[in-house]
Amino acid sequence: MEHYTMNLTLKVWRQENSTAQGRFETYQVSNISSEMSFLEMFDVLNEQLVIEGKDPIAFDHDCREGICGSCSMYVDGKPHGPWRHNTVCQLHMRAYKDGDTIVVEPWRAKAFPVIKDLMTDRSAFDRIVQAGGYISVNTGNAVDGNATPIEKEKADNAFGAAMCIQCGACVAACPNTSAMLFTAAKVSHLALLPQGHPERKTRVLDMIAQHDKEGFGSCTNIGACEATCPKDISLSNIARLNKEYRNAALVE
Amino acid sequence: MTWKRAFTSSIGRKIVMSLTGLFLILFLIVHVSINACIFNTLFDAGDKGDTFNRAAYFMGSTFLIRVMEIGLFVLFFIHIIQGLMIASNNSTRRGTPYQIKYGNRGSRWYSRSMGLLGTLILLFLIVHIAQFWVPSRFGQLEEVQVRNGTAMVHNLFLRMEQVFSHLWVVILYVLGCISLGYHLAHGFQSAFRTLGVHNKKYVRMLVVLGNWFSILITIGFISMPVSMYFGWVHQ
């Protein structure tokens, strides 16, 4: 694709801290390369702000290769921007053209309070995992691959669920602000494998209890989470979570 | 985990919604089947609404059915109250609203509007119960003798003709049934997902089945006031 440069108008959410009243600020950026990533464009803007003696925009980022789950911008009405199965760090400026206006907001959820500007506190996810999203004994060294046969489809589905990077885009997209796709992915990848079986009942009950305690909404099978997930976590994980919950809640 | 907690967690509430919803779906099948008896007048000139009146009489005739009727009201009540609570609860979880909404990406408007559709159905239901169930149960209806017998039954067929002679009532019923159709289009398959059906083969089947069910139920119920209004079905 041919290289080009562009001038853009950005409307960015600015908020001093978690208690301050936020507002949108409008910024102009010029000579942005089509080969830059979206976050590099923000780096350019921040350097500009620092030179002007202003406070740079705070935003989460780490690996910038779409696997860490830190970046979290709600770009023009969609978490992680316009591309499918993509994190915002992997969104490139060739998605835009000269003269475009881009609106950038933080994830909006009471359970994810804004720390500053576009950064939100997503430790609620950590607490859901801490409630049971692990195997509580040391599983030892890797055993022989043939010692525990696992169906290929189950292994693939477990891997698909384990792809979740905990970015929180599902919560940001969900009209109910539910974290059910995240919780479902964390429950599913263990429920599908033999190592996860002994603790499957307490795991699902504890994780759902924590999910509710954190103040997320409840799932109504809408599907916006699946459509926005950068890792394409399937909605059928939520149905599997429901089955796990049903089997556990009726007997435990 | 106590029983109370099992059914009041976010998933527990969903299970209650899906179970009550599925029972209400069974009720809709019975309801539309009984109502379809009005169309016997098209095939039998001597019917004059007799098939329908006898079927409607049967639906209130025995002790067992009366007990089930109370159960039905309880299920409606639970489904409505629980649904309204879930919808209002979920709407408070966002905090600051988005400047630009997520919109239709990946979901259909009716799956996001179950609370609104449910409220419209509730309003329709109040009018509907006041027009048919109340006068029938509390005996303000004209009675008619069954064909080939001496028993007297309520002439609900006549009641339908009278109620559906007003255009605004027919429009209200059509809108109510369309709301119901969209509510079912999401609710049918969602109920099964909530109960844990995640096998792709079955989910695909249930989505198709749910869509056809919603369409048929909607057309079935709409056809009744419309054919009464235009006089296609009469005594």
Which residues of B are less than 8 Å from A219 in CB distance? 10-11, 14
Tell which of B82, B85, B90, B182 to mutate to test the A interface (max A CBs under 10 Å): B90
Same domain, A75 and A185: no
Residue type at position B20: T
The predicted pLDDT at position A39 comes to 97
Nearest CA in chain B to A212: B10
| Bridge partners (DSSP) listed for residue B152 | B145
- The minimum CA-CA distance between A233 and chain B, rounded to whole Å, is 13
pLDDT (average), residues B137-166: 87
- Domain hosting A225: range is 123-249
pLDDT < 50: residue spans in chain A: none
Same domain, A58 and A148: no
Same domain, A111 and A138: no
* Percentage above 90 pLDDT, chain B: 75
Helix B50-58 with B10-35: angle, nearest 10 deg: 140
A115, A142, A168 - which closes a domain: A115
B45 interfacial to chain A (CB closer than 8 Å) = no
Q: Give the pLDDT band of residue B94 (cuts 50, 70, 90).
A: very high
- Using the Cα atoms of residue A149, residue A153, residue A155 and residue A158 in order, give the sign of their dihedral: negative
Q: B105 and A224 in contact by Cβ < 8 A?
A: yes
Same domain, A151 and A191: yes
A115, A137, A153 - which closes a domain: A115
Residue-wise pLDDT for B13-52, tens only, equals 999 999 999 999 999 999 999 999 999 999 988 888 899 9
3-state secondary structure of A33: strand
Q: Give the pLDDT band of residue B148 (cuts 50, 70, 90).
A: confident
CATH number at residue A167: 1.10.1060.10
Number of domains in chain A: 2
CB proximity list for A75: less than 8 A, separation 6 or greater: A38, A81, A82, A88, A91, A102, A103, A104
The predicted pLDDT at position B104 comes to 86
Which residues of B are less than 8 Å from A22 in CB distance? 96
Same domain, A150 and A168: yes
Number of domains in chain B: 1
